[in-house]
């Protein structure tokens, strides 16, 4: 799910990581908005507010929106930088550090958010935007830009393009490829919605503690990926011995 790249990566790998990370992003999106009234999985709206405040000459307010954009960018930059560094050492583990950092951030906000929300709500927004920048960059890199999970704008654009292409690409191979990609888009949308619905339903009961669930899911995902790789490796070694 995480470790496969390039030619070894299949549609099934993308389906698994799309389901996990879009569900995580859906929860973070709702918890971030309900807790600090800020969008914490994308920066499109923040850019509009930034420009609006600049034109109103409210420069102190505009800097806040600028920092929202900056922290998402920094998350993406750091994720890609860590991937490049790890690629030089061991490609098998390039996904681990960004995912662990994202999980740590979510754990920290889950446990400390209620202490920070009154006086330092912007720090919560900065942290969640950084975490979503990490995630978006990570999944974009390992899926070769096929999967994006933190926001839906580009996803609906791609979906619209691909649905229209169904009317013109009539060859069986083209149809199969398009349909598989369309199904993947719908999967991301569905799990993002489910994550948001889950977050909205249970936020009033658990507040920031709800972020313990996506944080734990990331760690479980890493462990699942490692365990599956070990099992396949043992099976391969056993088959080689049998031969």
The pLDDT assigned to 202 comes to 96
The pLDDT assigned to 95 comes to 84
Question: Which token pair is 201?
Answer: 């339903």
Cα separation, 11 vs 20, in Å, equals 14
Q: Provide the CA 79 distance to its chain's centre, in angstroms.
A: 12
The pLDDT assigned to 33 comes to 95
Give this prediction's pTM. Answer: 0.89
Residues of the chain with pLDDT under 70: 1-9, 91-92, 232, 236, 238-243
What are the sequence ranges of the domains in the chain? 6-242
Contact in structure between 59 and 77 (CB atoms under 8 Å): no
In 117-171, which residue ranges form alpha helices assigned H by DSSP? Answer: 121-142, 153-165
Average confidence score pLDDT of the chain: 88
The pLDDT assigned to 233 comes to 72
**CB environment 48-61: b (16+ within 10 A), e (fewer):** ebbeebeeeeeeee
The pLDDT assigned to 35 comes to 95
Contact in structure between 31 and 210 (CB atoms under 8 Å): yes
The pLDDT assigned to 4 comes to 59
Cα separation, 151 vs 159, in Å, equals 13
């Amino acid at each position: 799910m995480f470790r496969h790249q390039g030619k070894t990566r299949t549609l099934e790998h993308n389906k698994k990581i799309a389901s996990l990370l879009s569900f995580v992003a859906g929860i973070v999106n709702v918890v971030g908005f309900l807790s600090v009234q800020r969008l914490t999985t994308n920066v499109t709206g923040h850019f509009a507010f930034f420009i609006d405040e600049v034109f109103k000459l409210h420069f102190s307010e505009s800097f806040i929106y600028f920092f929202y954009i900056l922290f998402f960018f920094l998350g993406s930059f750091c994720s890609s930088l860590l991937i490049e560094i790890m690629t030089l050492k061991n490609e098998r583990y390039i996904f681990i550090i960004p995912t662990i950092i994202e999980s740590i951030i979510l754990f920290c906000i889950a446990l400390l958010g209620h202490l920070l929300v009154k006086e330092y709500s912007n720090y919560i927004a900065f942290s969640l935007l950084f975490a979503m920048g990490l995630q978006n960059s990570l999944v974009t890199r390992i899926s070769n830009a096929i999967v994006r999970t933190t926001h839906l704008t580009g996803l609906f654009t791609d979906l619209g393009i691909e649905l229209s292409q169904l009317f013109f690409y009539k060859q069986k191979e083209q149809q199969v490829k398009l349909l598989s990609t369309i199904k993947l888009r719908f999967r991301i949308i569905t799990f993002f919605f489910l994550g948001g619905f889950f977050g909205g339903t249970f936020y009033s009961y658990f507040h920031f503690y709800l972020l313990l669930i996506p944080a734990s899911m990331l760690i479980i995902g890493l462990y699942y990926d490692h365990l599956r790789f070990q099992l396949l490796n043992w099976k391969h070694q056993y088959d080689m011995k049998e031969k």
